[in-house]
Amino acid sequence: MYAESAMTFLSIFGLALYYWEEFCALLHPLMRKKNSKNSLVEMMTRLAAITLGINDIRIGYGILIISVSAAAVTFLVLRMHITYGLLVLASVSALLLPVLLLMCRLQAVRVKSSREGEILLTELLDNYKINYYNMQRAIEVTALTIKEAPGSKRLLFNLSKGLNTASNPEEIRHLLRDFEFGLGTSWSSVMVDNMFFSLVSGIRVTAAMEDLVKTVSQARKVSEYSKRENNESGLILKYLIPVCYLLTVLGATKYFGLTAKEYFKYQFFTTTGMNWFVLSLVMYMIGLLLNFFLSKTKLDL
């Protein structure tokens, strides 16, 4: 029990460490403003806008309500059946689950968009030249005409809509920060800086963008050369572990003389059985999350 608990906490620590920059980016509004309640809602709204394409503050409130409700239900259902430490762990896991699912979605969006980096940069640079070095017009045209980069197209379209109403450099910086957060790569950070200088100061950034296109193209070639498909661990985690649990039910009823009713009773109506089940479930969920984040790599410099 102690070994499994230690592994669970180490897994949570590893996941937090791996995604630390993303958590800091999400928490930026929370640290910037004094009204922590509104900032937390803004943080959830921002995450939903990037991952679901719905920029509505009601979605932010909805995510918070679902998270708190899930934690409360978990606490009330399990409070008489498992130890206090596992009860806290299960409740916290339920509280974080909606946000973690959105983070998974964010990772998928980033991976897809990062693979489209060369196309995005080339299209944006071409339209930037065609439209006489007008970056806002280049962004608008690229968002409407780009076809081979659907992930980047949605992010670029949201940026274009925001720029039409932005009235000062601070608002432009905020919009570009959201755009960069949706991509989450070092090359997107360089691209956003060039876009900002061009939008605010009118500086020509043709040479810098051309160098960035070449760099991303080289990075793509290196990534394709070094890429290795290795799905065995993911398949084991997704399918073999649930099958193994079902086999324990079969083994208990077939070889140890337990009836299905007795097995169900010992598993879910005793403290020891529930402790093992909840801990195993939490570890399985953490394993799935870690496998998802680590197996889907972005195209970066």
Residue 47 has pLDDT above 90, yes or no: no
Q: Which pLDDT does position 282 carry in this prediction?
A: 84
pTM above 0.75, yes or no: no
Q: Which domain holds residue 78?
A: 2-113+229-295
Domain stop point among 182, 208, 226: 226
- Judge if 218 and 171 occupy the same domain: yes
With contact defined as beta carbons under 8 Å apart, do 145 and 155 qualify?
Answer: no
**Amino acid identity at 229:** E
Average pLDDT over residues 235-242: 74
**Two tokens, residue 122:** 């080339």
Residue 22 lies in a domain: yes
- Judge if 15 and 52 occupy the same domain: yes
- Judge if 236 and 167 occupy the same domain: no
| C-alpha distances out from residue 21 to 24, 26, 74, 162, 189, Å | 5, 9, 29, 24, 13
- Residue the block writes with tokens 């962004």: 139
Mean pLDDT lowest for which of 16-20, 90-94, 114-118, 204-208? 16-20
DSSP calls for 11-28: HHHHHHHHTHHHHHHHHH
- Judge if 71 and 198 occupy the same domain: no
Average pLDDT over residues 57-77: 90
Residue 226 has pLDDT above 60, yes or no: no
End-to-end CA distance of the chain: 42
- Judge if 71 and 211 occupy the same domain: no
Domain stop point among 174, 198, 226: 226
Residues 203, 206: Cα–Cα separation, whole Å: 9
- Residue the block writes with tokens 């990534």: 223
Residue 242 lies in a domain: yes
Q: Which pLDDT does position 207 carry in this prediction?
A: 92
Q: Confidence band (pLDDT; 50, 70, 90) for 278?
A: confident
Q: Which pLDDT does position 220 carry in this prediction?
A: 75
Residue 25 has pLDDT above 80, yes or no: no
- Judge if 39 and 100 occupy the same domain: yes
- Judge if 203 and 79 occupy the same domain: no
Residue 268 lies in a domain: yes
- Judge if 119 and 221 occupy the same domain: yes
Average pLDDT over residues 100-118: 83
Residue 301 lies in a domain: no
Residue 277 lies in a domain: yes
Residue 36 has pLDDT above 50, yes or no: no
Average pLDDT over residues 97-122: 85
- Judge if 249 and 275 occupy the same domain: yes
Q: Which pLDDT does position 299 carry in this prediction?
A: 67
Q: Which pLDDT does position 225 carry in this prediction?
A: 55
Among residues 39, 99, 12, which one has the least CA distance to residue 64?
Answer: 99
| Element (DSSP H or E) covering residue 220 | helix 206-226
Q: Confidence band (pLDDT; 50, 70, 90) for 30?
A: very low
Residue 300 lies in a domain: no
**What region, left, alpha or beta, does residue 146 occupy, with left being phi > 0 and alpha being psi -120 to 50 degrees?**
beta
Domain stop point among 175, 210, 226: 226
Instruction: Taking each helix axis as running N to C, give the angle between helix 260-268 and helix 271-295, from 0 to 180 degrees, rounded to the nearest 10.
Output: 80
- Judge if 52 and 25 occupy the same domain: yes
Q: Confidence band (pLDDT; 50, 70, 90) for 58?
A: confident
Residue 268 has pLDDT above 60, yes or no: yes
Report the percent of the chain where pLDDT is more than 70.
80
**What region, left, alpha or beta, does residue 297 occupy, with left being phi > 0 and alpha being psi -120 to 50 degrees?**
beta
Residue 123 lies in a domain: yes
Number of structural domains (the chain) is: 2
Q: Which pLDDT does position 83 carry in this prediction?
A: 84
Among residues 90, 73, 71, which one has the least CA distance to residue 8?
Answer: 90
Q: ∠291-26-62 over CA atoms, to 5°? A: 90
Q: pLDDT tens-digit profile of 150-199?
A: 888 888 988 998 898 888 899 999 889 888 888 888 888 999 999 999 99
The better pLDDT of the pair 19, 245 is held by: 245
**Amino acid identity at 68:** V
- Judge if 119 and 260 occupy the same domain: no
DSSP calls for 92-123: HHHHHHHHHHHHHHHHHHHHHHHTTHHHHHHH
Residue 162 lies in a domain: yes
Average pLDDT over residues 36-61: 78
Residue 7 has pLDDT above 60, yes or no: no
Q: What is the DSSP letter of 53?
A: S
- Judge if 126 and 214 occupy the same domain: yes
Q: Confidence band (pLDDT; 50, 70, 90) for 11?
A: low
When the pLDDT of each residue in the chain is averaged and rounded to a whole number, the result is 80
